[in-house]
Amino acid sequence: MANARIAAIDVGNDSLKGIFGKMEAEINIPNVIAKDIEDRPIIGIEELDNQDPIDGIHIRLHSPTLKDNNSIYRVGHLATKSNNSSELDPGSSKSEEDQTLVMLFAALALDAAREENKQLFKRSNNVIDATYILGTGLPLREVKEGKDVGYRSRLLSSVHQVEFLVTPKYQGLKVNIKFEEVKVYPEGFAAFINLVMDNNLNIINKDLIDKRILIQDIGGLSTDIAVIKNRKVDDDKAQGFNLGVSESLEAIREEIRSRHGVELDSRRDVVEIITKKNDRNHIMVKGSRTSVHDIVDRILLELAKKQYRHLRNIWQRNSQTEICYFIGGGSIILKDYLKTLNNNLDGYNIDFFEDERESIWMMANAYYKLIADFSRKNQKEKQNEEQKMVKTK
């Protein structure tokens, strides 16, 4: 049997976060794709292999799981520079979008092609055969609708090929991806695991383990509120809403364009403007530093009010809740607004992760803990079976 490598991947609405192997490799790619042609024009082709592959992901995808098979894409940073780039739309289902799979396969291919993995996967004539044990997740709403089953079976049932076209270092490589196992976890449950357990699933937060908790995960396109009781997600009370930060980011981007004549490439550019440490909420207009504070405040406060209403409604239906944790990229953007609203209104016991990286990587870390634990147990069972067979001989 081929060596199977662990991969934990969170295809977030803003970006993909992936952790591989024994946590020795990770990847973060903006969740933006753009249809492209095979020979994309490039200045200084001879310099291509001095660049980082992640900045120039240009691939052709062959997979029966895709609605649009055999298409060519720019992915991530390269796609943000295209005038036909696409980001996930509000109301879309992560499990049913080609974009989710394009991002997932691209990340796995980038990992498989790494020089450090040459000994792990079989290579012949520029073709790499890579096998993965994948831990990933879907919003609670989609899991409750049973979409995780179809998503998992589509990944398991085929070999998916990523062909690197004009990509630094990897041009001409083809990666055949297959899965030994795929685990699809509900995002709210994964967040709880990450809060209370270490990488070996030992309890590290005893104060939290038996509390009644809400976890409000604010993403780009949706918000999930998990209700944790008796150490598990209460499926009946967990709620998913088609309300994320993407529409608000798009509104900020549009108003900056119409008012100041400044064209921002993607929502990612808006996020950088409103979260950067220095000169937050400022842009350059014709070389002059210009504040967009009023635009940002008005639009984000309106979104924070809607998020707060959801919190209030869920808390009222779960009155014995002890604390609500806000997680996800959207919670970082809305943190100050939500804190102000809470101080002025109900005064719930709410908390945020001050470490922005921890909040953003929470899902990927949780999937890693869960899939690594599954892999360890699976390995142990195989060893036990082998020992039994030896004894019977």
**Mean pLDDT, consecutive 10-residue segments, the chain of 393 residues?**
85 91 94 84 64 93 94 92 77 87 98 94 95 93 89 95 94 96 86 81 80 89 85 78 89 95 86 88 92 96 97 94 90 94 96 80 91 89 77 68
**Using an 8 Å Cβ cutoff, are 164 and 211 in contact?**
no
Best CA proximity match to 33, nearest among 7, 70, 63, 72:
72
Q: What is the pLDDT of residue 121?
A: 95
Whether residues 100 and 230 fall in one domain: no
Best CA proximity match to 100, nearest among 113, 88, 89, 110:
88
**For residue 22, which amino acid is it?**
K
| DSSP characters over 365-382 | HHHHHHHHHHHHHHHHHH
CATH code, domain carrying 270 = 3.30.420.40
Whether residues 138 and 16 fall in one domain: yes
What are 258-295's pLDDT values in tens digits?
999 999 877 888 988 998 888 889 999 999 999 999 99
DSSP, collapsed to helix, strand or coil, labels residue 126 as: coil
**Any domain includes 390:** no
Whether residues 58 and 181 fall in one domain: yes
* CA dist., res. 9 & res. 20, Å (int): 9
Q: Count CA within 13 A, CB hemisphere, residue 172.
A: 7
Best CA proximity match to 213, nearest among 108, 350, 58, 339:
350
Name the domain count of the chain.
2
Q: What is the pLDDT of residue 1?
A: 41
Whether residues 23 and 54 fall in one domain: yes
**Any domain includes 248:** yes
**Any domain includes 77:** yes
Whether residues 61 and 80 fall in one domain: yes
**Any domain includes 118:** yes
Q: What is the pLDDT of residue 4?
A: 93
Whether residues 22 and 119 fall in one domain: yes
Q: φ, ψ for residue 206 (rounded to 5)?
A: -65, -30
Strands (E), the chain: 4-11, 15-20, 25-30, 33-35, 57-62, 72-75, 122-124, 127-138, 160-164, 174-186, 213-218, 223-229, 232-233, 239-241, 282-285, 288-291, 323-327, 350-352
Best CA proximity match to 59, nearest among 159, 177, 166:
166
- pTM score above 0.75: yes
Whether residues 46 and 129 fall in one domain: yes
* CA dist., res. 79 & res. 73, Å (int): 8
How far from 90 is each of 145, 229, 246, 247, 250, CA to CA, in Å?
A: 18, 30, 7, 7, 11
Whether residues 283 and 251 fall in one domain: yes
Q: What is the pLDDT of residue 45?
A: 55
Whether residues 247 and 158 fall in one domain: no
**Using an 8 Å Cβ cutoff, are 368 and 20 in contact?**
no
Whether residues 233 and 175 fall in one domain: no
**Any domain includes 308:** yes
| Secondary structure letter of residue 348 according to DSSP | -
Q: What is the pLDDT of residue 254?
A: 95
Q: What is the pLDDT of residue 46?
A: 53
Q: What is the pLDDT of residue 44?
A: 52
Question: What's the residue count for the chain?
Answer: 393
**Using an 8 Å Cβ cutoff, are 168 and 70 in contact?**
no
Domain boundaries, position 316: 212-360
Report residue 134 as tokens.
């994948």
Whether residues 292 and 153 fall in one domain: no
